[in-house]
Amino acid sequence: MSKKLSLANIHSLRKQALHHIDEDALAFSYNADRQRVLKLLNDALAAQLLCVLRYRRHYSLSKDVQLKTIAEEFLVHANEEQWHADQLAERIAQLGGEPELATEAMIITECSAQAREDESLVSMLQEDLLAERNSIANYRRLIHSVGERDYPTRRMLEGILVLEEEHADELEELLESLPEELKKDTWRGD
């Protein structure tokens, strides 16, 4: 046997050791019901991915309208919802779970939304505001449910909640500042 280990072997052994340390640390330190938290996080992930799809659909439908700022806001929100989804998926993986990136319920919901052709800008903003308020209520419940037993998950959820509250505030302001002619349901002219 060679007395010298190659750099690649050292790197591999170090990686394996760190992996075992991580697993052991998680096993010893995790105080919450892991399966329950994973289920809650996967439910939140599904809701986030639906938000991404809804905002992207609203961006596509509104980007030709004269108020570009609203279309841009839809896109910004879509990207931030995707960021939340990424955070949730990463935490699910850290806890040893598997992020569920598409569910049957999501596909059905999104298809039925796409089937609506009479959406106005105001109805899109209202739909988004309602979804944000539901999201805020869900994250508050989730934070309460995780409680003090899983601080990293709790801190992540609290960070997401802050941004969701900002989304709701921004949508309320956009709805209030919408010009009268754009409050009509026929703004798309089709």
List contacts with Fe ion (CB under 5 A). 132, 164, 167
Whichever of 32 and 167 has its CB closer to Fe ion, that residue is 167
Whichever of 70 and 95 has its CB closer to Fe ion, that residue is 70
Whichever of 73 and 164 has its CB closer to Fe ion, that residue is 164
Distance CA(62)–CA(65), nearest Å, equals: 5
Shortest distance, CB of residue 48 to Fe ion, whole angstroms? 8
Whichever of 154 and 167 has its CB closer to Fe ion, that residue is 167
Long-range contacts of 183-188 (CB under 8 A, 24+ apart): 183/122, 184/120, 184/122, 185/118, 185/120, 185/122, 185/123, 186/120, 187/65, 187/120, 187/121, 187/122, 188/61, 188/65, 188/119, 188/120
In this chain, which residue has its C-beta nearest to Fe ion?
167
Shortest distance, CB of residue 28 to Fe ion, whole angstroms? 35
Copy the structure tokens of residue 44: 């939140």
Shortest distance, CB of residue 181 to Fe ion, whole angstroms? 27
Whichever of 32 and 73 has its CB closer to Fe ion, that residue is 73
Burial annotation 6-26 (CB, 10 A radius, 16+ → b, else e): eeeeeeeeeeeeeeeeeeeee
Shortest distance, CB of residue 111 to Fe ion, whole angstroms? 22
Q: Are 97 and 146 in contact, with CB atoms under 8 Å apart?
A: no
Shortest distance, CB of residue 49 to Fe ion, whole angstroms? 12
